[in-house]
Amino acid sequence: MINNIKIGITITNEKNIEISNGDKKIIIDNKSKSINAKDIYDLLNYNIDNDYIQPKQKLDETSEESTDTRRLFNYTIDLIDNVVKEVNIKSEALRLEKEKLDTSEIKNEEND
């Protein structure tokens, strides 16, 4: 069974960017603007049976947010979209590989 995991991205009151998955959170400070790849991996709580979804849309020029906040938010959207896309592609390939192995094991058991 495939689990759909929704990744949240919000702007905090302090104008930092918060990325969340359930109770796990990463804060990207608006001043340092850095994020660690390991933190993203830990946030995803990766499992081959998960499909990750990031439903947020980029902010446009008419947004109330400052230019820096808007840019950081939009960069984060792009980053998480790319990570989620690649992780989902890899997970799908691993699920198919696992399914083939399981099918061949069943055939081998039937032939024994």
Domains of the chain by residue range: 3-111
Give the Cα separation of 55 and 8 in Å (integer). 8
**Distance (Å, rounded) from C-alpha 49 to C-alpha 32?**
34
User: Could you read off the pLDDT of 60-112 as tens digits, one per residue?
Assistant: 988 899 999 999 999 999 999 999 999 999 999 999 999 888 887 776 666 66
Burial of 73 (0-12, 13-18, 19+ CB in 10 A): buried
Q: What is the pTM of this model?
A: 0.84
Q: What is the SS3 assignment for 13? A: coil
Average pLDDT over residues 2-19: 96
Residues 6 or more apart from 40 whose CB is under 8 A from it? 19, 26, 80, 83
Write down the pLDDT at residue 112.
61
